[in-house]
Amino acid sequence: MREPVRKHPVSSPNQPNLIRHWLGSNRPSKTWICLVGPITFSSLALTAPDEALGQSPGQSSLAPPASFSPPGSAKVPGARSNGSRPNAPRTSWDEQVAPAAPGMLERNQATNDQPASDRVAPDLQALYDRAQAATSVIEYNSVIESCRTVIGDSTRLSSERTYTKRLLSWAANRRGELRSDMAGKMVASQQFDDAEKLDRSAADDFQLSIQFDPGRWRAYHNLGIARALTGNIDEAIELFSKTIELNPKFVDAFNNRGELHARNRNWKQAIADFGKAIELSPDDSALHRARASALFSNGDTEAALSDFQSAMKLAPESAETASEYADTCQSMGRWKDAAEAYQKSLKLAPSNPQTLQNAAWMMATCPEDFYRNPEAAVKTAERAVRAAGNAPSSSLLHVLGVAQASHGDFDTAVTTLNEALQTTTDPSLRREIGEHRTLFQRKRPFVQSGPNK
């Protein structure tokens, strides 16, 4: 059996300033099916928490474990949240206070190359005030143009021009952050062309910010996000590395660089980055989940379990964390632990399409008769389809077809798989669906052979 593919959280629910729309609207979803733990399935069509798990109301504890293996190519309708906050800014927003010149009451602190003074030029004070009050792209445009005028004035003091470069850098970075967040909202409303234009403008802003202040680490981080969004992974990693060089305590940079290493399947580098992020923010459950996924993919399953357990302690009400812990347990054949974690996940999110899909797969294909319930499998798969909305994924239709075949309705199953084949171009999924269709045409259901070891 091939190993399941695991994805990784990009951002943390406790850190709102991380990457959100990873590669725009095309961020891949988690792509492996796993099972709701070893419990007896009787009435998944109901909605009470226990019944949504397949248990009869009042049924006690978990049954003995079963053996199974997940269909590795099955995909889930709709991506998991992966720890991201849907309303959080995509960029690491710069300080709310603009950099003040020496002598300003807001920040009476000299720069490294400029002695403090008791007075500041009135026009620079006014420019600072405008920058501080700016809230729109137009207002930042005005501040930036005024800064350019001061910088280009050879009659100004060197210290004044130096300060104004820093102010321009700050304003450019803020304008880029504003544009990036506007692009994120456009992605959410499927205005992709306009979002792409704004993302390009935001990237130009971050470059402008770096040009006028090479030490502005947030601009490097934001530019790294912009590059990652367009698929320039290697450049993004370099920019996150520069961010870390300038600010080695910035958690987001380690987390995002680790995410990119994981995307490139460089598991050891990803593990190291997530580990450093955990050192800086040990109570962030999403960071533990991220490292756990990388550890699992690198073959260190025991360490992955430990990280998932830590994540569950830190976020006991997270259905996502419980589900991912269960995924790992079931891949290791730790069925009791997997069952408990899946049961918890479903109680927290009883209408999750992916969880319903996974439960349907188990009830349809589990090699242990104790857990196989074809009738409930069909009902559960149908619930998953309804929960997924108007466009169920090909993998969800695949699971529905497998459930129908397990119930002996082979003709309907073949029809459902034909529909699934029409909605996917993925070679591995098409091959798997085709194999199952052939099996059903021979009036034989599909049953899993055993767990991944």
Give me the numbers of helices (H) and strands (E) for the chain, helices first please.
18, 0
Angle in degrees, 0-180, between the axes of helices 301-314 and 285-297, rounded to the nearest 10? 170
Domain boundaries, the chain: 36-69+335-453, 122-295
d(CA 264, CA 260): 6
Residue type, 287: L
CB-based contacts of 382, cutoff 8 Å, min separation 6: 400
Question: What pLDDT does 74 receive?
Answer: 30
- Torsion angle of the four alpha carbons 134, 135, 136, 141, in this order, in degrees rounded to the nearest 10: 20
Tens digit of each residue's pLDDT (9 = 90 or more) over 299-345: 999 999 999 999 999 999 999 898 888 878 777 777 778 778 877 88
What is the percentage of the chain residues whose pLDDT exceeds 90? 59
Report which of 451, 381, 385, 453 is spatially closest to residue 78, judged by C-alpha positions.
385
Domains 36-69+335-453 and 122-295 share a fold: yes
**Contact in structure between 365 and 406 (CB atoms under 8 Å):** yes
Q: Give mean pLDDT, residues 4-9.
A: 29
Which residues are within 8 A (CB) of 441 and not within 5 positions of it... i.e. 6 or more apart? 410, 414
122-295 classified as CATH 3.20.20.70: no
Nearby residues of 29 by Cβ (< 8 Å), 6 or more positions away = 7, 75, 76, 78, 79, 80
**Whole-number pLDDT of residue 118:** 43
Residues 6+ apart with CB under 8 A from 164: 124, 127, 147, 150, 151, 156
Asked if 350 contacts 322 with a C-beta cutoff of 8 angstroms, the reply is: no
Q: Are 167 and 128 in contact (CB under 8 A)?
A: yes
Task: Render pLDDT for 367-383 as a digit per residue (tens, 0 to 9).
Answer: 878 778 899 889 989 98
Residue 289 pLDDT level (bands cut at 50, 70, 90): very high
- So what's the pLDDT on residue 201? 97
For residue 193, is pLDDT > 50?
Answer: yes
Residues 7 and 259: their CA atoms lie apart, in Å, by 10
**Per-residue confidence band for 96, with pLDDT thresholds at 50, 70 and 90:** low
β-partners of residue 12 are 15
pLDDT on residue 421: 96
What is the architecture of the domain spanning 36-69+335-453?
Alpha Horseshoe (1.25)
Paired residues of 15 in beta bridges: 12
Largest CA distance in the chain: 90
DSSP helix, strand, coil percent of the chain (3-state; round to 5): 60, 0, 40
Asked if 182 and 196 count as a contact pair (C-beta separation under 8 A), the reply is: no
Our measurement of the distance from residue 294's CA atom to the centroid of its chain's CA atoms, rounded to an integer in Å, reads 14
Residue 29 has pLDDT above 70, yes or no: no
Sequence letter at residue 353 = P
Please say if the pLDDT value at position 227 is more than 90: yes
The number of residues in the chain equals: 453
Give the pLDDT mean for 164-177: 97
φ, ψ at 12 (rounded to 5°): -110, 140
Position 414 confidence tier, pLDDT thresholds 50, 70, 90 = very high
Band (220; pLDDT cuts 50, 70, 90): very high
Most confident of 63-77, 258-272, 316-330, 385-399: 258-272
Average predicted confidence (pLDDT) for the chain: 77
User: Contacts by 294-301 with C-beta closer than 8 Å and gap 24+?
Assistant: 294/8, 294/258, 294/262, 294/267, 294/270, 295/267, 295/271, 296/6, 296/328, 296/331, 297/6, 297/262, 297/265, 297/267, 298/267, 298/268, 298/271, 301/328, 301/331, 301/332
CB atoms within 10 A of CB 249: 11
Q: How does DSSP classify residue 445?
A: -
Q: What is the DSSP string of 95-144?
A: PSSPPPPTT-TT-----TTS---S---HHHHHHHHHHHH--SHHHHHHHH
pLDDT of residue 337: 81
**Mean pLDDT throughout 124-141?**
95
pLDDT tens-digit profile of 396-409? 999 999 999 999 99
CA 57 to chain centre: 35
DSSP 159-185: HHHHHHHHHHHHHHHHHHHHHHHHHHH
Residue at token pair 């699934």: 420
